[in-house]
Chains A and B, each alone.
Chain A
């Protein structure tokens, strides 16, 4: 059995699954329940200056049958008294000495930072997370993402914290920025021990079409909020990867964003995260999902022969390159397994209207099985992505695997294309039906 325990920048935990700073860590009651269920750590709901919250606060993107594919919130940091939170942190640590409790903090002045760092550490927190990410409300008051978006301010504040902090300091970054590596480097320069990402992404879920008020509704008005949940995972993964690939970067990364099942967690880890944090999935399904997270990850690690989390961290990074380093000689084309095909023709219409007219229909009688027109297929994957049947459309390799040329190499050799006649440019060998074919009878007649 794989060993799930971790040592994250000096913070030890029985497993890499931590609750992100958010409503699931509002109180000692919740955190203890979570630890009892099997979570390895918890980043306490951000402590800081007094705030007031609005009601209502959340809105969600439902996609097809799936509710809460994305969640948006306009909630601020904790609105519970600091003293209560500190007392509960102390109590949790007493009962769960081996679990990680990290205090998330957000205040304004140097004095306030000093004070709250001391308070949190005195309460027994194993580490601190500086919330430079909240993208609504707090940033209007010059905190949260307002800090995360200003590398110099961020560095200064990290410096203030480091003046007094005795436990590891994690800087939580906002994704609402062009280049996440800039604040990541600023955090390192400021002396932080680790970074975590992502906080929520600025968003507006939608508009109520009856009363013309966006969601969530607060007495006839609304505001933009922060987006999270399964929908944001790809953005989070990319940012984790970007930071993990900063040359000579030293700080460990805690991956956050869109983690709902063990596979999501594994992906974060393979791209460089040394611990992972979860918010929306717990808000949706409760602490019980830890069963799947742990069972799935440890089974995967056993299968792959990863004995520890450290063995696994960043293992996908060597396979993650910039575009200019990809092999231009690699060529795949789509292939349809006729036995599996159910004849929905989604691949046909996707390629015909949305890509490269590389799929044909026989047009004969009952035969609904499309075929690939290989000359036109650029190997984009689209058909295989829309096909509802598992492994019905596969991408088959056509180059012999012997040649390897990248854009970088071509540039270095002064061999960048100057005409569209290059073998990989769109113009060569690509057949496009005649213009009149576009208007020929038949395409959509049935519905006219």
Chain B
């Protein structure tokens, strides 16, 4: 039995998805910031993909220069507030904190970051003065972390920016994908408003850029284009029964959960197929939605899972059961899902092979396929001269693509990483665009 009842009110939903990194109060922030050693060439900074000057902002918190702290953060990362809550800090800054070598709890860098940025967002305090208008216009496709970060930096440099976004809200997967116990939608959107008010870019919502025609128009109307479209739908696993009712893709399931909360249908016995972070999230989320049994099925051994260990721990902590070396053969059912047929596997010469006569069936009434997101190759193929590398957009150090007018960043370039990586790309790309437009 799961420890979570099915939430019937928003309050119950929030309780089931209690924030794992709640906002610090000023006392906690003061104590925690006092602990920071202010390391020289601090490893936490090196571990941050956006290279935030961490000891500096922590010291600024400690000396009650909270706006200064927020500015230090935003100087490197426009998703400073969200990142404080959604970054896998265990494997980034906090994982690198020198206290780990002393077996002392590392500094809670993420929560301190969230604390400082929350203060300026609440006060709507603007930290930047934009450069005078350059007269240049840049189109950004996708209002995800990469696109928004790029837009902010471009505006800082004095360029006009219009963002075209397929969906109704900004921040991409931050609002449509990240687990609800990491951050609330309101928090994400508050930072987005804060940024838009400060940097003044335009966003056209529900405006997907689809075909050649759209693209030519962008090329005509704008001096450069930034592609921050992320990845696509959940990939198929190409087995029978994938189209049955109650067999859903993980990103689609999570998006519905993020938007609809209570109204999202979740089965009693759920099988999540996959071993990545999205699989861990989907399994945790199903359990927190009141599923009585949640099985996480992965075709390789536990240690080979792509997911971070702490993500698996989070799932285990809410009652998710791991089944390893189990390859799905078929999703069973006539109309609706009733179970999954698996076969046991082992690894031989690095390859997964099934062990004959080891088929077994797990009953369930819902299957979540967390087998990775597809790349948006069909769309990208329509941009002239744009080269891909296994579906990922090829870029140089300035995030310029092989079509010089186009720059790109985020998941569409790295194949799927974290919000912080996308935010880092967007900013560097904006500098690249700036340099490109000057020539």
Q: Which residues of A contact B (CB under 8 A)?
A: 65-66, 261-263, 285-286, 288-289, 291-292, 295-296, 299-300, 388-390
Contact = CB atoms under 8 A, between A and B. Distances in A.
27 contacts: A65-B34, A66-B34, A261-B63, A262-B63, A263-B63, A263-B64, A285-B38, A285-B40, A286-B40, A288-B38, A288-B56, A289-B38, A292-B59, A292-B60, A292-B63, A292-B65, A295-B60, A295-B65, A295-B68, A295-B71, A296-B60, A296-B68, A299-B67, A388-B27, A389-B27, A390-B26, A390-B30
Interface string B14-34: 000000000000110010001
B27 to A, nearest CB: 5
Nearest to B40: A286
A289 B53 CA distance: 12
Given A65-B35, A292-B65, A299-B65, A390 B56 contact: no
B56 A296 contact: no
Interface in B48-80: 53, 55-56, 59-60, 62-65, 67-68, 71-72
Contacts of A263: 63-64
A151 to B, nearest CB: 38
Contacts of A295: 60, 65, 68, 71-72
Nearest to B66: A299
A261 B36 CA distance: 14
A65 B32 CA distance: 12
A295 B27 CA distance: 22
Contacts of B27: 388-390
Contact of A296 (B26, B38, B65): B65
Contacts of B71: 295
Nearest to B68: A295
Contacts of B56: 288, 291-292
A296 B63 contact: yes
Nearest to A263: B63
A303 to B, nearest CB: 9
Interface in B164-193: none
Nearest to A292: B59
Contacts of A261: 59, 62-63
A299 B68 contact: yes
Given A66-B34, A289-B59, A291-B53, 15 more contacts: A65-B34, A261-B59, A261-B62, A261-B63, A262-B63, A286-B40, A288-B38, A292-B56, A292-B63, A295-B65, A296-B60, A299-B67, A389-B27, A390-B27, A390-B30
Interface residues of B, number: 20
A292 B56 CA distance: 7
A288 to B, nearest CB: 7
Nearest to B62: A261
B45 to A, nearest CB: 11
A72 to B, nearest CB: 21
Interface of B: 26-27, 30, 34-35, 38, 40, 53, 55-56, 59-60, 62-65, 67-68, 71-72
Contact of A262 (B26, B40, B53, B65): B65
Contacts of A262: 63, 65
Q: Which 10 A-B pairs have the closest CB atoms?
A: A261-B63, A296-B65, A295-B68, A285-B38, A292-B59, A390-B27, A291-B56, A299-B68, A286-B40, A263-B63
Contacts of B38: 285, 288-289
A390 to B, nearest CB: 5
A65 B99 CA distance: 13
Contacts of B53: 291
A102 to B, nearest CB: 27
B171 to A, nearest CB: 29
Nearest to A340: B27
A66 B68 CA distance: 23
Contacts of A285: 38, 40
A117 B67 CA distance: 45
Nearest to A66: B34
A275 to B, nearest CB: 20
Nearest to B53: A291
Contacts of A388: 27
A389 B27 CA distance: 7
Name the residue in A263, A288, A300, A390 with the highest tally of chain B Cβ atoms < 10 Å from its Cβ.
A288
A36 to B, nearest CB: 15
Contacts of B68: 292, 295-296, 299
Contacts of A286: 40
Contacts of A296: 60, 63, 65, 68
A291 B62 CA distance: 14
A12 B247 CA distance: 74
A110 to B, nearest CB: 45
A389 B63 CA distance: 17
Contacts of B30: 390
Nearest to B27: A390
B92 to A, nearest CB: 22
A388 B31 CA distance: 11
A291 B67 CA distance: 14
A67 to B, nearest CB: 9
Nearest to A284: B38
Contacts of B64: 263
Contacts of A300: 65
Contacts of A291: 53, 56
A262 B62 CA distance: 11
B382 to A, nearest CB: 47
Contacts of B65: 262, 292, 295-296, 299-300
A292 B71 CA distance: 12
Contacts of B35: 65
A295 B72 CA distance: 10
B44 to A, nearest CB: 14
A298 to B, nearest CB: 9
A65 B71 CA distance: 28
A288 B56 CA distance: 9
A72 B352 CA distance: 65
A66 B34 CA distance: 8
Contacts of A288: 38, 40, 55-56
Contacts of B40: 285-286, 288
B213 to A, nearest CB: 48
A113 B56 CA distance: 43
A61 B420 CA distance: 41
B246 to A, nearest CB: 48
A55 B26 CA distance: 43
Nearest to A303: B67
Contacts of A65: 34-35
Contacts of B62: 261
A289 B63 CA distance: 12
Contacts of B67: 299
Nearest to B129: A1
B141 to A, nearest CB: 36
Contacts of A390: 26-27, 30
Nearest to B64: A263
A286 B40 CA distance: 8
Nearest to B58: A292
Name the residue in B34, B63, B64 with the highest tally of chain A Cβ atoms < 10 Å from its Cβ.
B63
A82 B243 CA distance: 86
A108 B95 CA distance: 56
A288 B57 CA distance: 12
Contacts of B34: 65-66
A1 B56 CA distance: 20
B158 to A, nearest CB: 19
A206 to B, nearest CB: 23
Nearest to A392: B27
A324 to B, nearest CB: 34
